[in-house]
Structure 1
Amino acid sequence: MNNEIIYPRSEEEVLLILATAKKEGHLLEIIFDEFVKKPFSMPVLWGCRAYFYGLKKEELSAHPVLFTHLALLSAMDGDLSQAKAYVQFMGKTPRLVKMDTYDMMDICRIKTELVMPYISDAMFFRIVSFLIEENLVPVMGLTLSACRPSILNGFRDFTRYGKYLKKSKDEITEAACRLYGGSVGQKVYEIMLAEWYYQNNNCFEALILVTGTIPLIEQEKDMRCLFVALALQMKILLVNGQTKAARPLVEKIRKRIQITGWDELTSSLNAIECLGACYDGRLQDVERWLDEIAPDENKGIFMMDMYAWMVKVRCYIQTGKYMAAYVLTHQLIALLIPGRRYMDLCECYMLSAIIYYKMKNMEGMCEELSKAIALAKRCGYIRLLADTGNCMVQMLAIYQKEYEEDSFISEIKELAYSVGTYFPDYLKSPYEYYEPLTQMEEKVFRLMAQGLSNDDIARQLGKKTGTVKFHSCNIFRKLQVPTRQEAVERGREIGLL
């Protein structure tokens, strides 16, 4: 029997270890052992955050390396000011980084700063150069990549540098190999390039690159890179109508997670699977994910779970929960702006535009869509907008009445139309499956829902009772119900009330 411990440990296992240690009076020792001496995953650190927040100042002063963990937790919580404050407890990194003035605590600090979004890009590249020149690599637990559906994308957003990937292939590959160790950096580069190809609508080139990379990643047994590669392969197949080829990839990834113990990837995998249900219009599966599996924003926004949050907004839209979608989207926007997460911001502005569109606020829709298009045009996020399908086509038709059409918008519209032909039910809210009510029918329906009789509705609207009865009959027919009570129930189910 194989009793070998798999690292990183699961959250459940680490929580049990910490709870026992606290009871026995040696919590600090065990925290140090589990989170400094051994590999750990970001979701497990997040799950154990209460133990870190409970540490006393004198305990942290005795083990200042734990400030790095508190900084990571603050970044995961979207509080970059607090993250910066924790890092500065270990000192301040000068503009010119030199080894002769550095000790191990300084090294620990700058390795933490490497993934902190509050540092400038110039400082990021200076730190990378310093670590490589001084042979202080690989950096364990490094979470940097352009690929978004996984923990690999970390806190920094490099997607806006996609256009430099081919120009600077050798330099980027060498740096990535040194930072990650072994040949993993080569695979990171290839996955980033495949993501860039995909966003620029070079889907076939992206698919060739990622498909060729997968067997090599499997040999390296790097589960995080493999997850990103398989997830990207699945997305490319999915949005090009190849759903039968895409679905088995979910199970393939799930089996790999079970074998390797990389439970931290499960949340993103469940979200990817739910996104497939959104595209197919499988509302029961969408609602099940929302009710049973989706992360809960009321318990805090875990920034490393950004992919799942974006899927959750889509699920809220698809189930007619527009207010919940609006609140979550704007929570995310407030967290993303300080970290300069442009791709995620672009997606949030796009989702916000969809919410306004569904709520029939065309002015708000155009304003949010303008922000999304500006970012997409600047950074090359073509597929990000186009993959919205019919909803994007409909929004752009209204948007173009206010703004001039250009080649970029035309390309998005054409691609979105193509996606819409494959997935006509994607982002279609429940009420859209029924014939729309007229403005007068909506007024009658709202008063009907308040329990008013036909006579009362007629008096309030200044209409004849017969006219109200006529509109009521139309409401019953359109909602496919025989009675007032059932009409009201159906209206609440599908978000009309």
Structure 2
Amino acid sequence: MGHENHKPHNIAPEPVLRSSPYPLLATKFLPPVFTHEIVVRPRLLALLNAGLHRRLMLISAAAGFGKTTLLASWVRTFPPDHPPVAWVSLDAGDNTPLQFWMYVLSALEQCRPGLSPLPVASLSEQPQPSWQAMLTALVNNLARQSEPLVLVLDNYEEMTEPTIQAQLAFLLEHLPPTLRVVLSTRTDPPFSLARLRAQAQVLEVRTEQLRATSEEMTAFLRQVMNLQLSEQDSQAVDARLQGWWAGMQLAALSLQEKAHPTDLLQALQGTQHELFEYLVQEVLHRQSAQVQSFLLRTSILSCLHTSLCNAVLEQQDSQHFLEEIERANLFLSPLDNQHQWYAYHPFWAAVLRAQLEQTAPAEVPGLHLRASQWYAAQQMRGKAIQHALQAHEWSWAALLMEQIPRQDLWSQLEYALLPSWMEQLPREVLRERPRLCLASAQSLFWIAPPEVTESWVRDARRAWTQAHLREEQTPTARDAHGPEAPLHLLGEIAALQATIAGFYHGDAGATRAFCQEALTHLEEQQWAARVQMAFAQARANVSQGYVERGVLQLQAEWSRIKAKGDQTLESIYWREAVWESTMAGKLHQAWQLSQQAIHALQTLKGPQPTQICWPYTYQARILHEWNRLEEAHQLAEQAIELGEQTELLAFLPLAYTLLLRITLSQGRLEEATNASQQLEYTWRNSPSPYRTAIWSSVDQMRFWLAGGDLEQARRWAREVRQGDPLDSPLARERQNVALAYLLLAESQADQALNLLIPLVERATVTQRWNHVLEMWLLQIQAYHMLQRQREALALLAQAVHLAAPEGYIRHFVAGGAAIAALLSQLREQELQEEDRLYLETLLRVFNQQLPAQPTHLESEPSPSPPQPLLDPLSAREQEVLRLLARGASNQDIAEAMVVATSTVKHHISNILSKLEATNRTQAVARAQALGFLSSAPLE
């Protein structure tokens, strides 16, 4: 039986990592180096070589069965013309999507420069990138490669994060033929391999294949460990260990120290724990006291370096011990060809740590602290923080977290990991650190309910106040690890509070007060906080209905944002500018701005940023208004998918409101119901009465009325009237517009007009022409309902003139048959040529749209399914309709309802118009098809 210790071929060269926000350990990109000869296993090498024709090789077995050794030996047998190998040795610290993909993409990039779809540094963008988009780009890049590549992920069992599992499953599902993935793991991955198995695209190497055969075990003991056991003893060891390589090596080390084979075999009859206990006693305790001390006290380290070990042990001869332990084959493997970094076998390290905890528990915190201090001196902040947390040195850990540069808080890997680190700090320690409380609030702003963000920012202010008082009382006695309270930090806290007050509450007074406080304390170089404050001031203006002021506020900051090149702030600027242009009724300008936003985000290096979901949504709104419903639907779905990938709670209500609007316009009431349920769910998860009012109140009302759910509409109206009024005039206006829809549905046209007139005046003064147009069309319907045709036509002419340049369509179509009839009458009047052409366009849309819209009854067999009502029946009209269905005459209806016959005729005329029927029989048939006559009685 041969053995090997070949130099590697086609392994990625010594890693030269690109600029990264977080140091990546170069040793994790290299297979372990074996200084001792190992047994060659030709049967398994041949099996792995055959597996290169499949997408995935799964090497799955318990610890100690030689998975890593086999793979490292295998890739070192590759000839020079063999595909290169991208190797990643994973550990528990890589169990976040960000860290995992930074290592994987870096490994791939070292083998194929330019293969990674983005610079590694951009992975840590906040919010997190669209992983599916990034993986799609990676798959596309791989598909363009002509040469194959092998990716080995060792110790994959350390990856327990469900997001990583889903991402890798996606990659495997769409893997191009140029990439082969090898997973080495103690446990099978949780994602399904059924499809790959069905396609014969998986090679599975498991415990039974990995077990050492009798011949391999004998060769190992004789040729590698230099042990000559009798055939009977060898068979006994083999029977007990059953090919377990780690057990064999431990047993061999024990026998090398002259332990009697009978004693060993007796120990092998017990449990694995007993075996460990015996072998540790025989191996560890037979070493010198100095070696035992070194092994135990360095077992806290995931990687060993001479300088690091010297610092942890407070000695200067660690290199000597590392070389001695390596020569003794005590489960220590070099991680690089220069033998600068080492690692213990995970099994051995776990046993050593357990022994350390038993024999010297008081020393463990000090060892971790010195490791933390060493890593901090090397600017390896992540490792420093992890060891500080393990040392329970909370103040030191908190100080390290606070030392993450302020400009990194939006983009760097440390900041992405900060929440998980902060979770390990005692709550009372965290609450004392204003910087960390502020960082938590900032990281949670888009993805957590507003009350959570507000709680953290209040904690930040409280902690700042307490720290500031301590500094004033004892200015020279501050703890070196204690929190600081500079005035500029208070400015950052105030700027975030202004953002929350403006975005979530529409409280202009509070927003401006916080902005003034921030201006007092911020320093000139804190430009990001100053821009953040400007955004808050713009939102304060918008919440009061002053859109133009908000636009000017944004434009004043654009030059500074552009000069700094901050992509996050640029995306927020575009988002706000598009939103405000839309409210101003400038649809073409809003479209152009959103196009610029999308272009700017798409041209960034790397995956499609999640911020792109905002301009996608705004474009879908504009497409909807232009009656391009299918395009709008697809874009809205795409935006929702992006928002859900990163759980952007602050965004999802806007997207589901739009989806509700689009599906309602398409007549897809079942889909609209689903969108409404999703919208309700997102608002429960991220409650904001202000945002609910300005984003969703009108669309929710239109949905309830279209479905005939007057009870829910009335309940909402009662809650609004009885509740405390919102601070924002804009929010109150949107609620009143929703109430106007309800009043019209209840045939209370006079009340609707009285409600709308002052709203229209204010919207006109503030030049919010989108809202003016919507309210004009409601007024027109009220005039029509009151048979004030002259006023209806005059106002409709103004609406047509206002809407023509921007191409509004859905605002008019939402008015239903009444608006269509009035437009036909308006055609007879004298109009400007541009308005006349636009009027004809609207009428063509009505003629095409109304008869052909699908409904929630699509599943029923019908050659021409009826459409849902764009102009819903009022409560009185539905009562008249029920009486009509019973065959009641006009006089019967008048007596039943205690009204005049002329009133009944007016209701019947409206019913025929809304149902697009020419007589009572058609009206009743259509009402039955729509399900109106089977509903419960109205209040």
With structure 2 as the length reference, what TM-score do the two structures score?
A: 0.36
CA apart distance, 1:395: 2.0
Question: 1:9 pairs with 431, 446, 451, which one?
Answer: 451
Question: What amino acid does structure 2 have at the position aligned with 1:424?
Answer: L
| Pair 1:426-2:838 in alignment | no
Question: What amino acid does structure 2 have at the position aligned with 1:289?
Answer: W
Percent of aligned pairs with the same amino acid: 12
CA apart distance, 1:292: 3.0
Question: What amino acid does structure 1 have at the position aligned with 2:500?
Answer: F
Question: 1:248 pairs with 650, 674, 677, which one?
Answer: 674
Question: What amino acid does structure 2 have at the position aligned with 1:217?
Answer: G
- 1:433-459: CA deviations, max 9, x gaps? 5779xxxxxxxxxxxxxxxxxxxxxxx
1:43-54 to structure 2, matched below 5 A, reads 45-46=505-506
Question: 1:487 pairs with 887, 896, 899, which one?
Answer: 899
SS of the counterpart of 2:827? helix
CA apart distance, 1:414: 4.0
Structure 1: gaps of 5 or more residues: 18-30, 69-88, 91-98, 437-472
Partner of 2:829: 402
| Pair 1:134-2:564 in alignment | yes
Partner of 2:892: 477
Question: 2:843 pairs with 409, 413, 416, which one?
Answer: 413
1:200-279 to structure 2, matched below 5 A, reads 200-260=626-686, 265-267=691-693, 268-269=695-696, 271-279=698-706
Asked if structure 1 preserves the Cα contact closer than 8 Å seen for 2:623 and 2:631, the reply is: yes
- Distance in 2 between residues matched to 1:159 and 1:145, nearest whole Å: 16
CA apart distance, 1:37: 4.6
CA gap of 1:430–1:120, structure 2 versus 1, over 3 A, is closer
Partner of 1:73: none
CA gap of 1:243–1:386, structure 2 versus 1, over 3 A, is same
Question: What amino acid does structure 2 have at the position aligned with 1:487?
Answer: V
Larger relative CO (CA 8 A, sep 6+): 1 or 2? 1
CA apart distance, 1:191: 1.5
Equivalences, count: 396
SS of the counterpart of 2:586? helix
1:314-333 to structure 2, matched below 5 A, reads 314-333=741-760
Partner of 1:40: 500
Q: Which moved more, 1:394-403 or 1:372-381?
A: 394-403
1:370-381 to structure 2, matched below 5 A, reads 370-381=797-808
- 1:148-174: CA deviations, max 9, x gaps? xxxx94697365143673698345642
- Distance in 2 between residues matched to 1:176 and 1:157, nearest whole Å: 25
Structure 2: gaps of 5 or more residues: 1-422, 428-439, 442-447, 460-489, 542-546, 852-865, 882-887, 909-939
- 1:72-117: CA deviations, max 9, x gaps? xxxxxxxxxxxxxxxxx99xxxxxxxx9999899757744554443
1:46-445 to structure 2, matched below 5 A, reads 46=506, 65=516, 110-112=534-536, 114-115=538-539, 116=541, 117-119=547-549, 124-135=554-565, 138-139=568-569, 145=575, 153=579, 157=583, 159-162=585-588, 165=591, 169-170=595-596, 173-174=599-600, 183-260=609-686, 265-267=691-693, 268-269=695-696, 271-293=698-720, 302-304=729-731, 306-403=733-830, 406-416=836-846, 418-419=849-850, 422-424=867-869, 426-433=871-878
CA apart distance, 1:383: 1.3
- Distance in 2 between residues matched to 1:34 and 1:322, nearest whole Å: 49
- Distance in 2 between residues matched to 1:274 and 1:318, nearest whole Å: 11
Question: What amino acid does structure 2 have at the position aligned with 1:477?
Answer: D
With structure 1 as the length reference, what TM-score do the two structures score?
A: 0.63
SS of the counterpart of 1:422? coil
Q: Which moved more, 1:205-214 or 1:164-173?
A: 164-173
Asked if structure 1 preserves the Cα contact closer than 8 Å seen for 2:746 and 2:875, the reply is: yes
- Distance in 2 between residues matched to 1:294 and 1:248, nearest whole Å: 28
CA gap of 1:430–1:127, structure 2 versus 1, over 3 A, is same
Asked if structure 2 preserves the Cα contact closer than 8 Å seen for 1:280 and 1:426, the reply is: no
Q: Which moved more, 1:205-214 or 1:222-231?
A: 222-231
Asked if structure 2 preserves the Cα contact closer than 8 Å seen for 1:329 and 1:352, the reply is: yes
SS of the counterpart of 2:583? coil
Report the structure, 1 or 2, having the larger helix content: 1
CA gap of 1:194–1:354, structure 2 versus 1, over 3 A, is same
- 1:305-324: CA deviations, max 9, x gaps? 55443322111111122232
- Distance in 2 between residues matched to 1:355 and 1:188, nearest whole Å: 35
SS of the counterpart of 1:423? coil
Question: What amino acid does structure 2 have at the position aligned with 1:479?
Answer: A
- Distance in 1 between residues matched to 2:713 and 2:686, nearest whole Å: 28
Report the structure, 1 or 2, having the larger strand content: 2
CA gap of 1:216–1:321, structure 2 versus 1, over 3 A, is same
- 1:371-408: CA deviations, max 9, x gaps? 22122211121112112222211222332233458342
Structure label with greater radius of gyration: 2
